[in-house]
Each structure stands twice: as C-alpha cells, then as structure tokens.
Amino acid sequence: MELEPDQVIELWFHYEEIAMHFNELILQYRMTLIGGLGAIGAFVSYLVGSKLEDDSPHRNEMRFVRFLVSLLLLVILVAAACLDLLYYNELLTSSVEVLKSFESEHQWINMSTHVSENFSEGFSFKLVGGIYLVFALPLFCFTIWSWFAYKNPTEVAK
C-alpha cells in the first residue's frame, strides 16, 4: 500500500517525536543525576566537614562516613552510567535507526539521515562514556583516599 505524501510526512513526524522523546528522557535523566549527586555530595561534605575538627573524638567515625558516602555516590554513578549507556542510549539509537530506515524508503525526506551522517558510529556512546569517566575517576580516587584516611588516620595526617 502506497502512502500519500502527507501521510508519509505525518508518519515520519510521529517517528521523529518518538526519537525526540527518548532524547529528552536521556537529557532529563542526566541533568537529574548530576544535580542529585552534586546536592548529596555537597550536603554530606558540609555535615561531615563540620564534624572533622582535629580534636574531635569522633574524627575517625566521620572519616568512615565520608568513605561510605563517597562509595555510595560512586556506586550510584556507575549504575546510572550503565543504565544510561546500555538502556536509554540504545532506545534512542534504535529509534533513530528506524527513522533512518523509514527515510531510506522515502528518500525525499532525509533530515535524520543527514544528521546521522555528520556523526561517526558510536560517537555519542564514547562521548557520554568519557564524561561519566571524568566524573567517576576523581570520585573513585577520593573514595580510595577516604578509605586510607579511615584505616590509617595517623598516616594521612602527616
């Protein structure tokens, strides 16, 4: 069954809406993640930092809390990155592939195909993965440092 040009445009528009929905979902997810992790980190660092005075009897316990919170943030970040890159990104990629397939059948529509041609395969995955790595690596180093500060309090103080 051959579609009329206005039906083709309408169907293409719905495909485009689905791809845009997944894109908005990913952006919202990433912004919420960054904001949430930042807020939790700032709040806990304020609470723990205000209790870490040199003469505090609970100094080592607070170091352990700092370690636990940084470990928790790291686990949340890694889990969120996996969910983002292995699920949400696949939803978006699949919807764009369907859109490109539709455009290949109706070559007078080529917007998504043209946009995709300007990006190498896997570019988004590598870029976003790199950004997650930029967040995770310092947090990982801080978590390790926090563990050693808790386990060897006299060594870290020197």
CB neighbourhood size of 27 (10 A): 11
Total domains in the chain come to 1
- CB-based burial of residue 117 (10 Å sphere; 0-12 exposed, 13-18 middle, 19+ buried)? exposed
Structure tokens at 51: 């209790």
CB neighbourhood size of 111 (10 A): 11
Q: CA 111 to CA 148: how far, in whole Å?
A: 54
Give the pLDDT of residue 155.
62
Enter the pTM of the model.
0.79
Q: pLDDT tens digit string along 7-40?
A: 888 988 998 999 899 999 999 999 999 999 989 9
* pLDDT < 70: residue spans in the chain: 1, 50-57, 118, 120, 155-158
- Residue 25's domain spans which residues? 5-157
